[in-house]
Homo-oligomer: A and B are copies of this chain.
Amino acid sequence: MITRLSSEEARRLLEAGRVGRLGCVYEGAPYVVPVNYVTDGENVLIHSLSGRKIEALRANPRACLQVDEVDDPCHWRSVIAFGTFEELSDSRERDGAAERLVSRFPGLTPVESVPVHDGQSSVIIFRIRIREVTGVAEK
């Protein structure tokens, strides 16, 4: 039976996750990639190299992050956070976000974890400003 998660359950699942699937729209078509993330409930923080998802999000900032826990094909919980892409360019915001990502993912390689001040980094750090979180479960 598929049931809707309460808002609190949905947010708990989002906050507990580490890997999510980022959805964006690229030239009118959906595009989905796995990402490591950390969230405080208001924003989702993500780092990335440049590529199609960044190109897509710069052109159309509507984004979603889907996170799930799948026990088996008939027992799972899934949550989706809808929001808006915002690239971090201010060095203090970037440093703060990088610190939170490194603290959540100690295995990040130096090139990804080092805060960048020269504006030349190929590492993009962005947030999704969360507008709505919903979730469902099958038991």
A residues apposed to B, CB below 8 Å = 2, 18-19, 21, 23-25, 28-34, 36, 49, 60, 62-64, 66, 68, 70, 72-74, 76, 78, 80, 82, 105, 107-109
Tell whether, in the assembled complex, residue A29 and residue B64 are in contact, meaning their CB atoms are under 8 Å apart: yes
Residue among A34, A66, A108 with most chain B CB within 10 A: A34
User: How many copies of the polypeptide does the oligomer hold?
Assistant: 2
Chain B residue numbers with a CB within 8 Å of A82 are: 29
Contact B25 A74 (CB under 8 A): no
B107, A72: Cβ atoms closer than 8 Å: yes
A29 CB contacts on chain B under 8 angstroms: 25, 62, 64, 82
Q: List 20 A-B contacts (CB under 8 A).
A: A19-B70, A19-B76, A21-B66, A23-B23, A23-B30, A24-B30, A25-B25, A25-B30, A28-B60, A29-B64, A30-B30, A30-B32, A30-B64, A33-B80, A34-B70, A36-B73, A72-B107, A73-B105, A74-B105, A74-B107
